[in-house]
Every structure is written in C-alpha cells, then in structure tokens.
Chain A
C-alpha cells in the first residue's frame, strides 16, 4: 500500500490546505472569572486552555525569589482524552516537563519581568485536544491569557510550526503530517520586532533548506499575529461596552 501523500502534485495537503495556509483559528479571552487572566484557543482540532495568575508574591520557598525580576512559572498538562489513545498521566511526565520549560523560556523572553522584582507569574496551560502543533497552540493561548491578565509584555508571542516535504515547506502541521516523521520546526516570534523567542527543531535538515522552512514558519507566525490581534481588539471592545464607556 502506498503511504499517505502529504502534498499532492496540485499543491494540496491531506486536509485540503495549501503549503503556507494555517488551520482555522478561533480564540476567546477571559474564559474564567476567578483567574487573573485566561484564554482558550482552537487551531484546527488542537484545543488549548491557558490560565495566568500574578504577578503575586513568591509562594513556597522565598529563596526562589529573584532580586531583579519576576519568576515565570509555567506548567503544561495534557488532558487524558486529548489524544486518540487515552493517556495515563495528564502531567508530570518528561514530555510535559520539557514543554513547561520551553514555555517558560518563551515567556521570560516576552514578559517585561524586570517590572515586578521578587514576585511570581504563574502560567498554566492545558491541552484539551491534540492534533499537531501543541506547542504553538499553548504559546498562542498563553499570550492571550497574559494579555488578559494585563501583564506588560514586549510584544505578542506568536508561535507556529513548520515542516518540510518534497522540497516544500509546510506551515502549521497537523497530527498526520507530524506523524509522517519529517523534520519539524517550532518557532515563537515577537512579530513587530521580528525577534525569535524560541526556535526548536529535533530532526536532521540540511542547512540549505533551513532558511526556506524558517521563512514559512515566520510568515505563518505573522499570520497568527494578525488573527490574535483581532481577537484582542474585539475583546477589549466588548469589555469597554460592558463598562459602559
């Protein structure tokens, strides 16, 4: 049997998208009243929820407090029902820990932590349904949640994945495309400055092709930014109507 054709001769991917097209993105801010900030995002079938607390005093051991900036604490978990086969542990495994670290790195680069020395910012992200690009969905949800909490940031952090098939770079990989085993790149971008908050790739890719893939990921991240920006503006508008301005 022939395997799945990831990119047809006519330039369509398995799910009908073209190489550079994103999946459908839907997002909402302020989903929980109790938290300082929260957001929910759907990128195709990948669904993630982010909650932010802080900045507040350091909880637990005071020794962890940093004298010059705030501590960013990130926790990632994935619901047991998020994947096709039911997961045993929702969090605490190696993959979740690693993802938490990556998120922390990303947001330490984006949040203006020096404004809140000796305090802590908690970001909790949960993936409700996983269909590829979980890191990107988490970052995008967390960005909205941080904005919702009103924590000052340098810029939006917009993330997107990209892959490489038959000499073409594909943006925003779905689970089928990720499972095919090609190189996969995750990028978190600060769109207005073009700075990269995080870049990760764990397969071999020739250096000549890296630029092309990076370019595709950057473009996709900018597209994500346009969409997130629209969501934020709409949310603010709604909030201001409620306030009766």
Chain B
C-alpha cells in the first residue's frame, strides 16, 4: 500500500542545507466519481455525480467534469461559486498553490468544497501513484505544477474511459494560459479557456457577467499612457524592508476624506522617531510614498452602476458606496436592468495605464433607496454576518416543547421561590437579566442578579457556538435586530420572561443597608420571574404610595441600594458622560419613521445599570482569581492628555476650567461646570468629553498587564450580564461555571492565544456593529427628513473647523456640518483661530457652544449618498446665511455632474 520515494530539497537557512523528506505514493486514493468500480473501496465517499447532465455546453455536449488550473481558481472564483457550476475536480497541486497565493480565495474554495450540493472533489494527485510527477532538471516549479495538472487530467480521462466505455464521461481541463492549453490539446486532453467554456453554457448567460476580465483587450480603451508608476518587485521590497530603506505598514484611508490616508507603520517606535526627526520640524507627521503593495485587502463592494453614455456599450463604471474606493470598470450585458439597483462587484485587477480598476459583477441586491436593500448594503459594507442561520446550526437547538428535566438540576439551585423580576426597555424580547432583593433574618439584604444561562444551550465547539463566536454580537438597527443566536434561544428559551421556569446564572450578594458587600456567591439556578416590567412601569411602582406587594418592595430596596452604589462609584471617579441618543417612532404599517424622540433616562435605568456593573465587577474578580492567565476581561485605557485639548480649550472660552489629570478630577470639574444662563452647556461638555475617550476593548488577562477601566473607575471589569447578545459574556459564563464547579472545562478555554484571537474578533465586530448602528440611524434620519421636508432648528456649535462648523441639534440628537465654501459660489472671508477654536466668517465670529439656527434638508442629488445638508439661518451673514423661508427653493433637482472626457 505504501510506496516511498524521497526527494531532495534545498532551502536557505544561513547557508545551503539539504533537506530530505519522504514522499509516500499511494494506490488507495479514489477518483471521487460515484459508480467507479476501480475506486469503489477507496477511503473517500463518492462526491462527483455519476451523470453530470445539468450543464449544457455547446462546446462539449457529453457529460463532463471540470478540472480548473490554479489561475482559473484564483481569478474566477465568483464563477465557480455560482450554483450552475457543479462537478468540479480540484487538484491538490492547485489547492496548495491557491493556499500559498491567496488566503481569502483558499477559504472560499474550501467552503465550496464543503457544500455537498456543489459536488466539488479534491483529488490528492501529489500522493497518487499514477499522477505524481517529479521535477525535471531545469524545469521551474511552475512548469512542473502545470505538467502535474495535465498528467492528472490525462489520468482522469483514461480512468473514466475504463469505468464505462459507452458513457463517455470526460474531464475538461480549464486554463487561461495559452501555452498550457496548447500542450494539453497536444496530449489529447480536451481543454478550453474559462471564457470559452462559460460562453458555451447557453443555459446560463448571466454567468458571463461574473467572469473576471483579465484578458488583454479589457484595457483597450486607454491610450496606453501610463498613469501610475510601476511598483517595485516583491524581492526588492523585502530587501528594502530588511535594510531599513522602506517601511512596511497598513494603509488606512480616512473615512471622511478619501484623499487623505494614514499609514500605520509596523515595527518598533524607534524607527518612527528617527523618521520623524528626519523630516522638517514643522510637519507633525512624516510623509512618504508608496513603493509597493505587499498584500491587497480587496473584498466585494456594494454600490451602483453608472451606465455608460454609449447605448450599446457593454463596459460601464460602477460607483461603490464606500467613498474610499475608486470607481470600478465592469463589463455587463444587463446594464439596463441593473440601473438604479444596488449591486455587488469584485475587483479583478488594476492595470497601470488605467484610471480605474477592472472588476466583474457578482450579485444584485435590489432597488436603491428601498429600505430592505439599503439595510442589506449597510450590513454588507460593515461586514456584519446576517445570513439566516444554517441548518447545521439550527439542528443543535433544543426540541420544542422544552422543559427543565431532573438532569438539568444537577449543580443547579432552585430559586423559583424568589420574587425575581426584570426591568427592560419597552418591546424588549431578549431579556437577559432579572433582579431580586429581600431582607434576611439577620437584617441584611440579599440581592441577586440573574442572567440567562445561554452557555447551557450553546456548547463549546459545535456549529452553533462557532456561528455565535463569528457574529460576536447582536446588532440593533433602527427597525431590525440581527441576532447573534437563533431566535428560539434569544426570544424564548434564554429570555427570562415572566411566569415561566428559566435557567439562569445567578450572582447573589449579601449586603448591609449601606450597600457594602458582605458575601458574594455565584451559582447556576432555575428562576421563575414574577414580572417583566418596563423602566416606566418599574418607576411607577416605586413612586406609587399605594402599591406594597412583594415586587414593589423588592424594587424599592434595589433602588435604595443602587443610589448608594452610584454615589460611591462617582466618588471613586467614575465618569457620567453623555451622548445624544434618539429613538424613532415607527409607523407600524410602512415601518417609516414618523417621529424622533431622545431617549429618556429614569431612575430605574440607572438602578438596573448599577447592579449590572456590580455583577460584572464581581464576576471579573472571581474569574481573574481563578484563571489569572486566561480570564476574558474588558479594559478602558486612559486617554492620552492630548485628547483633552479640545475640551479644555472649549471650556476656557466659556470661562470654565476642566481638569483632566485623573478621571476623578475630570468628573468633578465636569460636575462643577455649570452655567446659570446656559443650562445645556453641561450636557455639551459631557458630549465633548465622550469624544475624547478611547475605545473600551476585550482582552485576555494573560496577554496584558493593564486591566484598568477608566470610565467606570474600576480596577477590573468584564461583561457577564448580556450573554444573549454578546459572545464575550458566554465565554465569561463558561469561565465562571468552571470556577464554581458547575461545568467542565474544554481545551480552547484555557488557551490564551485562542482567547486572544476571540477577543480580537469580538472587538472588531463590536466596532463594526457600532458603525452599522450609526449608519442605520443616519439612513432613518434621512427618511424622516425626506417626509418632513425642510425645517429650521436651533443648534449648538460642537466643533469649529477651518471651513465649517459642526453643530448639534438637541431636538433630534442630530449632528451635522455647516460648510461655508461651495463650488460655484464666491468664497467668503474665513479666518480660523486654532487657539480659542473660533472661526470668523466675514465679520461674525463663531465659538464652540454658540447657539445658532440652521436649516435642515435632505440632499438627494447623489442617489447613492443621500445626506442631510445644513445651512446657517441665524445669525444672519449677508450672502451666506439662507433666508428662513425657503420652501420655494427646489433642492431635489439633481446637480449636473461634470462628465470627464477620456483622453
């Protein structure tokens, strides 16, 4: 069964080293075709269909399998992913080459191979006795691989002939390399280029659009003038990086201005310092030039088609929704149907004599401006996984009707007798926390926080766990929720609804009446919530003098303790910051926003929050004590002092002093910063302070030394209280369960590198979810103003820029920019003062926090990027501010776009 063959390999490791490796050739590797008698006993099950007749090709009318080479796989993966393409043989040689050249394509091809309906078979040709090819003297490894692919194709054709003579099953070799194709035909292998083959599929004309255009003629339109200077070859780049002549870094285009970008240079800070001193001292940042690209970060992009002016033309430009991405030239025959639709396009390449990159059409999402489509675009652009849960995931859910069995009660306390209730915003279906409070016989109070026991349903390592880990968080958009776990769990089995038995993870404290913790206890439990209240209902119960039932007394006890806890926390230096939050009132029929409302904060909000914080801190301490190396914690680094500059300057202009040495000093000075004449000032300062903060992040305790949470002024913190909507909490639940002996550990849990990877993904997902939420709010704000028309509102100046003012409209919680320079209008006199932050326009001076009046309207001149435009109404500056009565102005008229002529 085993045939051994050794081959020699030279590698460079200081000097020349001879490496001898064994290479076993086997005779038990099957061809993958079902019904093949010769390979019937082979290890793998048959994957390819015996009669692949679903594809009708005019080039090859017989049933056939496809065998693509490496370049086809790399560049035409979009075509191969199409459901019409099935029964494909992927050679190991090809797969290895793809793996070395492009990780994303490799991942995609693996996904396709795992999809049973696609009938993709990976043939391990390098270890097959009859298809192994040895490198000849003077042959490059590329040539060897090409030969290996041809040999395998030939073997397949002969092998299949043996299997059934009358059936005439054939294997077609797909290659875009002309020489390779010629050689293959010489050897008697039917070979076509990818383009030829796809065009011959008469039943699937839409596939042609998905072809990546790599052929030379794609660039014809350009005169051949070289626009971009050539990049250095990779070998030179690597040399340069090693010798220090070049620096390697990550390119990040600015989200606000596509012409601006920063490069984060990898490596130690020493290098950067040297670079900084080398450039002239006036520049704050060193500047450089891109000499080469080591790895591109292309992905499919959403956007719209800008149809070519020539009617018959098949080449069109595509404008991505992401402004940082240039327009992409694509070839399609269905331009007229795709016009006005949101589509997805992938980039294939960027010739150096072309202004635009070349790409190909991938998918049509739907009509532009349509709420469904726009939401889809928003999710895709922010990389939020939102596909419905797969069958594999759903199969792991418990069967309904579900009930708690005797077995579940092991390691679990029965707390059903306790008077537990939950307090949440109205309309909340994923209730993950509930509270109780009762007086003990010794006069102390027992407070319990009960969190849904999601880790009971999501077992480590299975498909459900992997999917939730990938999603990382539930994303709340304005009218939609993208669940992290399937709905059966999030809204039913895990949701701590009233009057049903639910599994929970409880954190129970014994406290005295001064809210000092005497004892902390964690246990898995079963609870039966007595009521699910909204914040308003809970507040009403606390305030009402007549109600005295057990729920109400429990709530009052909690409220009393929460106040003490909050006071203590603030004394410790916790910050209370503010951000304008708005909620949309939706029309129940059309789901269009009809009104905006800023979120109201009640005492009960902070009551729940206080106990959640306390639970999180208690749990963080416990898991860190038990797992010093692999606890999942959350930290909030202190911002560098330079971040506060803007806040201090702004306050100074209002004769207030803000101290930023410590969190405590900041909190205190924010509390003191009050103005009798200007009550909203304090809120504005807090909003500004929020902008100075750093991002809070998850991390693994074994990989970091600084655990401090700046905003909460806590030495240690984690997330424990929302396992239904955050994956971090599930990990914390598992850690805690192991710590209290309620569950057993598993390998990945105690591997700090794996945990650090999980943290990295969670931080990314959380950031993206936040961006998606903001984008969703922005989109709904646009819808709102579309229906509302033009309005004038009072606003406060939040920032002063060189050519604009950033204003906040408290009524809508809306932030916008008022520009003073427009393309076709004469420029006003602008004087910007960096010291005070102020902007002088003609003769009027604007400071931060000044009250102004602005006009808000929807600018839909660019269909893809509709935006809210603001212009100044008060104070009036002749020639700049607009008159209050603007109803007769026509703003929906699209701007005539300048058409650029091709040279």
Residues of chain A whose beta carbon lies under 8 Å from any beta carbon of chain B: 1-2, 5, 8-12, 14-18, 21, 23-24, 44-45, 84-85, 131, 174, 176, 206, 208-209
Contact = CB atoms under 8 A, between A and B. Distances in A.
A11 B103 CA distance: 20
A9 B24 contact: no
A23 B124 contact: no
Contacts of B23: 15-16
Given A2-B100, A5-B99, A84-B19, A12 B6 contact: no
A9 B110 contact: yes
B110 A85 contact: no
B276 interface: no
B22 interface: yes
B747 A208 contact: yes
8 contacts: A10-B122, A12-B124, A16-B126, A17-B24, A21-B2, A23-B4, A23-B22, A174-B22
B399 interface: no
B25 interface: yes
A5 B92 CA distance: 12
A5 B122 CA distance: 15
A124 to B, nearest CB: 25
Interface of B: 2, 4, 6, 13, 17-26, 43-44, 92, 96, 99-100, 103, 106, 110, 113, 122, 124, 126-127, 745-747, 750
B4 A84 contact: no
B17 A15 contact: no
A177 to B, nearest CB: 11
A206 B92 contact: no
Contact of A131 (B20, B43, B113, B750): B20
A66 B430 CA distance: 74
A2 B19 contact: no
A9 B121 CA distance: 11
Contacts of B24: 15-17
A10 B25 contact: no
A176 B21 CA distance: 8
B17 A24 contact: no
A16 B113 contact: no
B2 A12 contact: no
Given A45-B6, A206-B747, A15 B21 contact: yes
A82 B746 CA distance: 40
A137 to B, nearest CB: 14
Contact of B103 (A2, A16, A131): A2
A44 B22 contact: yes
B750 A84 contact: no
B18 A84 contact: yes
Question: Which one of A10, A23, A24, A84 has the greatest number of beta carbons of chain B within 10 Å?
Answer: A10
A24 B20 contact: no
Contacts of A18: 43
Contact of A206 (B6, B22, B750): B750
Given A2-B100, A10-B44, A11-B43, A209 B747 contact: yes
A208 B24 CA distance: 32
B96 to A, nearest CB: 8
Nearest to B20: A45
Given A12-B124, A131-B22, 8 more contacts: A5-B96, A10-B92, A15-B24, A16-B124, A24-B2, A45-B22, A176-B21, A206-B747
Nearest to B95: A8
Contacts of B19: 84
- Shortest 9 CB-CB contacts between residues of A and residues of B: A206-B747, A16-B127, A16-B24, A15-B22, A84-B17, A24-B4, A44-B22, A2-B99, A10-B124
A9 B6 CA distance: 24
Nearest to B121: A10
A11 B17 CA distance: 30
Contacts of B96: 5
Nearest to A22: B2
Contacts of A23: 4, 22
A14 B9 CA distance: 14
A217 B106 CA distance: 32
A16 B26 contact: yes
A195 B520 CA distance: 48
A206 B746 contact: yes
A18 B43 CA distance: 11
Contacts of A1: 100
Contacts of B2: 17, 21, 24
A196 B765 CA distance: 49
B95 to A, nearest CB: 8
Nearest to B123: A10
Contacts of A15: 21-24
Contacts of A44: 4, 22
A45 B44 CA distance: 29
A8 B122 CA distance: 10
Contacts of B124: 8, 10, 12, 16
A8 B22 contact: no
Nearest to B100: A2
A121 to B, nearest CB: 34
Question: Which one of B17, B22, B99 has the greatest number of beta carbons of chain A within 10 Å?
Answer: B22
A1 B97 CA distance: 11
B479 to A, nearest CB: 41
A18 to B, nearest CB: 8
Contact of A12 (B113, B127, B745, B747): B127
B777 to A, nearest CB: 40
B463 to A, nearest CB: 14
A209 B751 CA distance: 13
B709 to A, nearest CB: 30
Contacts of A208: 746-747
B734 to A, nearest CB: 14
Nearest to B26: A16
Contacts of B750: 206
A16 B747 CA distance: 28
B677 to A, nearest CB: 65
B21 A9 contact: no
A97 B126 CA distance: 40
A79 to B, nearest CB: 15
Nearest to A24: B4
A11 B25 CA distance: 14
Nearest to B106: A2
B113 A9 contact: yes
A176 B22 CA distance: 10
A24 B19 CA distance: 18
A74 B240 CA distance: 52
A205 to B, nearest CB: 8
Nearest to A84: B17
A110 to B, nearest CB: 29
Question: Which one of B100, B746, B747 has the greatest number of beta carbons of chain A within 10 Å?
Answer: B747
Contacts of B20: 45, 131
Contacts of B103: 2
A16 B44 CA distance: 15
A23 B23 CA distance: 10
A109 to B, nearest CB: 31
A45 B21 CA distance: 8
Nearest to B113: A9
Contacts of B13: 85
Contacts of B92: 8, 10
Contacts of A9: 110, 113, 122
A11 B127 CA distance: 12
Question: Which one of A8, A17, A18, A209 has the greatest number of beta carbons of chain B within 10 Å?
Answer: A8
Contacts of A174: 21-22
Question: Which one of A11, A15, A16 has the greatest number of beta carbons of chain B within 10 Å?
Answer: A16
B154 to A, nearest CB: 21
Nearest to A209: B747
Contacts of B745: 206
Nearest to A11: B43
A215 B124 CA distance: 27
B77 to A, nearest CB: 17
A1 B234 CA distance: 13
A5 B22 CA distance: 16
Question: Which one of B18, B21, B113 has the greatest number of beta carbons of chain A within 10 Å?
Answer: B21
Contacts of B99: 2, 5
